[in-house]
Structure 1
Amino acid sequence: MSRIAFVFPGQGAQYTGMAKDFYEKFPVSREVFEKASKVSGLNVETLCFEENEILNITEYTQIAMLAAEIAILRAVEKSEITSQVNAGLSLGEYGALVASKVMTEEDAFAIVRKRGILMQEAYPTGGAMSAVLGTDAELIEKICEETEGIVSIANYNCPGQIVITGEEDAVAAAGKALSAAGARRVIPLKVSGPFHCGLLREAGEKLGQALADVEIQKFTTPYVTNVTAQNVTEPEQVKELLIKQVSSPVRWQQCVEQMISDGVDTFIEIGPGRTLTGFLKKINRNVKALHIEKVEDLETVRKEILVNAGE
């Protein structure tokens, strides 16, 4: 029988209309959006389903993405597909925590709304991020260390794709040095801040204040944290990891490798886009990479899982 991981994408995969078909078909999905709107004080349905100018602004993106992911998750659970471990990329980690029943939907929405605002305000100008393609992590780490100013790795996405982050001038200088050293491409990203670096440490500390009143439940399913790429099964570890996650690099490739070493052979990406599915194929082609973004995907994946289970 397959050992399944649910994985949840992060900021950047959002688009107008995400999860709308789940909202229209499944009452449990509709309830998720209604709850997100009530907790956040925003009209999350309008934010997700209608063309607007704010969906791509961090403080709004994060609550919208999480609502879409959990709405799809609830429909997946109704179809009786279950996971043995969960993980998410950056923001997606909150989807994983809800899937592991460690955090309630209400608490997750409240914290993610606060997280988005804090990350937006932490370093509003002068930051940058770039994707570095076609070179190894060791060279990128070395050049970041040698570059004047603040620049470091933000995301270890998959072999041949790493994201750097920091001060705009330092990111640009590191990018030029990496191109000269043989990187295939260095692509500046359209982002509103230098995420996952020390410049956001204060935002993480402020998030800790918001987390203080959140009750972390006992795990029903473990999750793998971005911070260490290790399994987390103890509730008391969660808050400190979420604080660190804001300014720590996202070790996504290592998270996937950890889950595979624990026997996971089927990954189901839950949420908008196929970003994580693409990463998975570059990390290890021997595992099954599925995704559920639309209602029709749910039935396709369900049939796939039942066939694997021999039913």
Structure 2
Amino acid sequence: MGKIAFLFAGQGAQYPGMGKSLYENSPAAKAVFDTAEAERPGTLQQCFAGTKEELTKTSNTQPCVFCVDLAAARALEEAGVHAKGAAGFSLGEVAALTFAEAFADDAAGFSLVTERGNLMQKANEENPGAMAAVLKLSNEQVEKICSEFPQVYAVNYNCPGQLVAAGVRSEMEPFCTAVAEAGGRAKMLAVGGGFHSPLMRKASAAFEILLEQFGMKLPAFPVYANYSAKPYESSFTVLLARQIENPVRWQQTIEQMTADGFDTFVEVGPGKTLSGLVKRIVPQAVILRADTFEDVKTVADSLKG
């Protein structure tokens, strides 16, 4: 076996009750949630008892998913599983960087992702948007269809045969119709905005200013940036801020990690979206996931030592 990487889940993976078993069974995970609750009262209630609608609101989704991501990673570490590298999908990148000690502490990372969610929520209120995953078409075909609409953009390059588009709400339904007419299939995503597109420009600029105030340092191990698909080495704030208004290069990220010797990927946090994408990108990789405490025990039994 080569190197182990943790992959931190992003927006859209949230579900009511997420993280509860981690909180109840892992001291390390509980510490993450308790820090979040102290910074943002009500976070525990939203994670453990919030409705689907409540969790879909961006200002709630981001801090809550961050907590489950980081708690799962800490529970794995507590169980003896140690990552040599990491990547996170969109907001998951903030959790990955927090886990890799790029910020002062967990509270700083949580504060950043909370403000990121607020900024992106505000940007969406000013420019209401939506996102759809497009299947069964090539990237070039999707990019061409996007170009036919004034405010629809190809944004998340997820895996072979899947590219996510973002745009203003009024254009997404006709965009999905155009996809179907071209022989593809479009599936609307459970997110609260047109992320990773120019609709998020104001949020990106404001977040860069905030990052400058908080400060970042080189992660303790390689963390791969969505913006460049390469490890953070410099221009920290630019990479993380520009990610908000630019495409997530997930397929390129996993391909780069594989080239760098990672062959075991553990998805940490809610859902199984990233596991499915990695399977499409690198079929030969070992792919595991840690969402619940039972998952953590299963992964630990497979990998620790």
Q: Give the TM-score taking structure 1 as reference length.
A: 0.92
Map of 1:139 onto structure 2: 141
**Distance in 1 (alpha carbons) for counterparts of 2:95 and 2:59:** 17
1:280 aligns with 2:278: yes
Query: For structure 1, which segment, 48-57 or 132-141, has the greater mean C-alpha deviation from structure 2 after superposition?
Result: 48-57
Taking only the aligned residue pairs, the percentage that are identical comes to 38
Work out whether residues 204 and 246 of structure 1, in 8 Å CA contact, stay in contact via their aligned partners in 2: yes
Map of 1:21 onto structure 2: 21
Once the two structures are superposed, residues 258-308 of structure 1 have per-residue CA deviations (whole angstroms, 9 ceiling, x without a partner) of 1011111100001111111111111121101001111121222122114xx
Give matches, 1:175-194, under 5 Å: 175-183=176-184, 185-194=185-194
Q: CA deviation at 1:209?
A: 2.0
| 1:67/1:86 CA distance change after superposition, 3 Å | same
Work out whether residues 223 and 233 of structure 1, in 8 Å CA contact, stay in contact via their aligned partners in 2: no
**Distance in 1 (alpha carbons) for counterparts of 2:206 and 2:218:** 24
Structure 1 residues without counterparts, runs of 5 or longer: none
Give matches, 1:215-230, under 5 Å: 215-230=215-230
Work out whether residues 130 and 167 of structure 2, in 8 Å CA contact, stay in contact via their aligned partners in 1: yes
Q: Give the TM-score taking structure 2 as reference length.
A: 0.94
Query: For structure 1, which segment, 169-178 or 42-51, has the greater mean C-alpha deviation from structure 2 after superposition?
Result: 169-178
Q: CA deviation at 1:93?
A: 0.5
Map of 1:165 onto structure 2: 166
Structure 2 residues without counterparts, runs of 5 or longer: none
Query: For structure 1, which segment, 13-22 or 285-294, has the greater mean C-alpha deviation from structure 2 after superposition?
Result: 13-22
Map of 1:47 onto structure 2: 46
Once the two structures are superposed, residues 167-225 of structure 1 have per-residue CA deviations (whole angstroms, 9 ceiling, x without a partner) of 23333333333322222x11233432111100111111011122122131332101111
**Distance in 1 (alpha carbons) for counterparts of 2:16 and 2:98:** 23
| 1:61/1:160 CA distance change after superposition, 3 Å | same
Q: CA deviation at 1:43?
A: 1.7
Q: CA deviation at 1:72?
A: 1.5
**Distance in 2 (alpha carbons) for counterparts of 1:190 and 1:93:** 19
CA RMSD of aligned residues (A): 1.6
Work out whether residues 6 and 73 of structure 2, in 8 Å CA contact, stay in contact via their aligned partners in 1: no
Aligned pairs, number: 302
**Distance in 2 (alpha carbons) for counterparts of 1:2 and 1:111:** 33
2:222 maps to amino acid: P
1:282 maps to amino acid: R
**Distance in 2 (alpha carbons) for counterparts of 1:180 and 1:161:** 17
Once the two structures are superposed, residues 88-117 of structure 1 have per-residue CA deviations (whole angstroms, 9 ceiling, x without a partner) of 100110111022211221111111111111
Map of 1:197 onto structure 2: 197
Map of 1:211 onto structure 2: 211
2:138 maps to amino acid: D
Query: For structure 1, which segment, 173-182 or 85-94, has the greater mean C-alpha deviation from structure 2 after superposition?
Result: 173-182
Query: For structure 1, which segment, 165-174 or 102-111, has the greater mean C-alpha deviation from structure 2 after superposition?
Result: 165-174
**Distance in 2 (alpha carbons) for counterparts of 1:123 and 1:44:** 22
Please give the secondary structure, in 2, of the residue aligned with 1:152. Answer: strand
**Distance in 2 (alpha carbons) for counterparts of 1:256 and 1:126:** 31
Once the two structures are superposed, residues 73-100 of structure 1 have per-residue CA deviations (whole angstroms, 9 ceiling, x without a partner) of 1111112211111001001101110222
Map of 1:127 onto structure 2: 129
Please give the secondary structure, in 2, of the residue aligned with 1:212. Answer: helix
2:152 maps to amino acid: V
**Distance in 2 (alpha carbons) for counterparts of 1:94 and 1:126:** 24
Once the two structures are superposed, residues 149-174 of structure 1 have per-residue CA deviations (whole angstroms, 9 ceiling, x without a partner) of 11111211111111101123333333
Map of 2:67 onto structure 1: 67
